[in-house]
Amino acid sequence: MASADATVKPTLGELALLFLRLGATAFGGPAAHIAMMEDEVVQRKRWLTRAEFLDLIAAVNLIPGPNSTELAIHIGLLAGWRGLIVAGVCFILPAMVLVTLAAWAYTEFGNLPHVAGLLYGVKPIVIAVVLQALWKLGQESVKTPLLAGTALFAVAFAILGVDEMLILAAAGVAVAVAKGMRNSANSVGAFALFPFAAGAGAAAPAAAAPVSLWSIFLFFLKVGSVLFGSGYVLLAFLRADLVERRHWLTEGQLLDAVAVGQVTPGPVFTTATFIGYLLAGLPGAVVATIGIFLPAFIFVAISKPLLPILRKSASASAFLDGVIAGSLALMAVVTWDLGRAALVDPLTIALAVASAVFLWRYRVNATWLMLAGAAIGIGASLLGLAGSAEH
């Protein structure tokens, strides 16, 4: 473990090189990204002590946005405001480029049998990976009857079609109020706030908006501004708005976007890059990426001096607990819906089950499972065994 007097200040060049490399090679999702950063900045480069690094991990869980990207931005702050920008942009840029190329290939060749077969084989793996993440996050986050009840309420309102942002806000408020009350009777009363607050979003959905660069930017800016928890929670927001309300994507296209986000390195949020390209070409990819990541830079910059206060606030901690419980509930609902679209025949079901076994029992890296699923999907397509999939 590095001692406090052993830490050194990184230069902008060192930050750029490190996060360009991590952005191009960091497969496996936020947990893997954070582990790789710890190895680099604590063990190897000694830019931070382990205690300081753990403080930053706690910090990124107090604000919305992609945790691993925000951690990179926080590390960049070691070199000042320019470091904040350099670290964040360099971590995002490689993934953005790779996903944009994948989106171009998808729009050009997505209907060809071998490409369709690749996605056919990867989609069941995505479901298994999300389920594993959901299970682990649930074990860590939903530890009390209050949080479990909050998650169940969130599931119910998500099924009813209530706006996901209202669900998250209501979950946070309900838990904060319940934890602030002294007796169990009042805690039950706090639960009554949940349907009142969440039910406000149950009005008829707005008419589908036309696709424009501005509307793409505003949608992803909204998502980046309110999304707590794992990047997988992004699925709930995308499906609710882009598939069900706006009808900008089909269920199959959303699954394809998630699959591409899984088989490329870097932040899971670059799924937005893929979707932006599908909707409006290269300009759409750029504005979607800027929209979803811009709040992370702002929140890190604003929250840095406030973190000592927030960490000591029982109300802020309780609100965050509720938001995380609501986020996991949204993940569960959307995973069920996406699973029905991905598991279309015995082969895809077998792939999902086998992937779950390898993930849980043998701790196989998800990237290798994705590659195996892609190979199996292509082979099944060539042999005429792949079921039809919507694109």
Provide φ and ψ at 388, rounded to 5°: -70, 145
pLDDT of amino acid 265: 80
Nearest alpha-carbon partner for 255 in 332, 340, 329: 340
Cα 357 to its chain centre, rounded Å, is: 23
**What was the pLDDT predicted at 2?**
40
Q: At what angle do helices 314-342 and 113-141 cross, to 10 degrees?
A: 150
pLDDT in tens, the chain (391 residues): 444 455 788 999 999 999 999 888 776 667 668 878 888 898 889 999 887 887 787 778 778 888 889 999 999 999 999 999 999 999 999 999 999 998 998 888 876 566 678 778 888 887 887 788 788 778 877 889 999 999 999 999 988 888 777 888 899 889 888 888 744 445 455 555 566 556 555 545 555 568 899 999 999 999 999 887 556 677 777 888 898 888 999 888 888 887 787 777 888 889 999 999 999 999 999 999 999 999 999 999 988 777 667 657 788 878 878 887 887 888 788 788 778 878 989 999 999 999 999 988 888 877 688 788 889 988 998 888 776 444 4
* Residue 297 backbone phi and psi in degrees, to 5: -65, -45
pTM of the model: 0.70
For the chain, the domains span 4-93, 95-382
Is 373:352 a contact under the CB 8 Å cutoff?
Answer: no
Contact 81, 301 (CB under 8 A): yes
pLDDT of amino acid 230: 58
Tell me how far CA of residue 249 lies from CA of 275, 283, 349, in angstroms: 8, 17, 24
- Residue 52: the pLDDT is 83
Instruction: Compute the distance between CA of residue 89 and CA of residue 133 in angstroms, rounded to an integer.
Output: 26
* Single-letter code of the amino acid located at 205: P
**pLDDT at residue 352, as a whole number:** 94
